[in-house]
Structure 1
Amino acid sequence: MTTPERLVGIVLISHSDALAREAVALAVGIAGAHVRVAAAGGTDDGGLGTSPDKVASAIEVVDQGVGVVLIPDIGSSVLTARLFEEPGSVVIADVPFVEGAIAAAVAAGIGADLQGVLDAAEDARTYRKL
């Protein structure tokens, strides 16, 4: 586990800036304000789509040297995330966007290492609601 001062970062990549920001707010609201989660949503001009520049900036904001988990929503956000993939440093979680974000944030908040945060996010794939 990492120390509480250095947490795994999480970047939520969405086609919608509003969706990304609200998912961050939800994840941080549940996991705690100390968790490093950033939004990278929409295009640079405010439209729907993805922006490599926004993803790069978000990674820079959350990276404390112990790894970053990228959680894309659909389609091209996955392709954009792949531009930044660095095994052992920046990894992509193939998970449900909201559930994965919350699970990753909770794991990061308790000090899980990069693999632990990724595993927690991936466990969200099996969550049942009923």
Structure 2
Amino acid sequence: MSDGKLVGIVLVSHSAAVAASVAELAKGLAGAPVAVPVAPAGGRADGGLGTSAELVSAAAASVDQGAGVAVLMDLGSAVLTVKALLAEGDELPEGTRLVDAPFVEGAVAAVVTAATGADLDAVAAAASDAYSYRKA
């Protein structure tokens, strides 16, 4: 951990309730004494289902501590929204990375790893490794 700055986590879902619930779950399961900056970016600005570039940008700005921002998405068009923001170049904080990971398990792994002070590469790797979690 450099200068006490933690990697921020943004959870992009088509549903505000899903994004908020996964954020709450990940923070709760992390159980760390360090508060990882986590922000949900769910639904559209009008409250409907979908994704909002403005909500994603605001969430990323809110969790940015200068150590990078890991963005996890639930479904395909959320990925397209984040990719479009990254392509713009100035819509997301420097060091923002789209992370290919399962939404729930990846969010938990990302938050737990970020709580240790790990860098963005380690946080992204932990989230992506969640694809290999076996449930049977």
**TM > 0.5 between the two?**
yes
Letter of the aligned partner of 2:20 in structure 1? R
Residue 21 in structure 1 maps to residue 20 in structure 2: yes
Q: Structure 2 vs 1, CA of residues 74 and 108 (structure 1 numbering), >3 Å: closer, same or farther?
A: same
Letter of the aligned partner of 1:119 in structure 2? A
Superposition RMSD in Å: 1.4
- List alignment gaps of at least 5 residues for structure 1: none
More displaced, 58-67 or 3-12?
Answer: 3-12
- Separation in 2 of the partners of 1:7 and 1:83? 25
Q: Is the 8 A contact 1:84 1:90 kept in 2?
A: no
Residue 58 in structure 1 maps to residue 64 in structure 2: no
- List alignment gaps of at least 5 residues for structure 2: none
Q: TM-score, normalised by structure 2?
A: 0.89
Match of 2:132 among 120, 126, 129: 126
- Separation in 1 of the partners of 2:78 and 2:70? 14
Partner residue in 2 for 1:91: 97
- Separation in 1 of the partners of 2:84 and 2:120? 19
- Separation in 2 of the partners of 1:26 and 1:5? 23
- Separation in 2 of the partners of 1:18 and 1:95? 20
Q: Per-residue deviation at 1:61?
A: 0.7
More displaced, 105-114 or 3-12?
Answer: 3-12
Partner residue in 2 for 1:77: 78
Q: Structure 2 vs 1, CA of residues 4 and 101 (structure 1 numbering), >3 Å: closer, same or farther?
A: farther
Partner residue in 2 for 1:117: 123
Give the count of matched residue pairs.
128
Q: Per-residue deviation at 1:4?
A: 7.2
Q: Structure 2 vs 1, CA of residues 128 and 4 (structure 1 numbering), >3 Å: closer, same or farther?
A: farther
Deviations 1:21-61 (A, max 9, x none): 00000011012360111000000100000000100110011
Letter of the aligned partner of 2:8 in structure 1? G
Q: Per-residue deviation at 1:116?
A: 0.4
Q: Per-residue deviation at 1:101?
A: 0.2
Identical aligned pairs, as a percentage? 51
Q: TM-score, normalised by structure 1?
A: 0.93
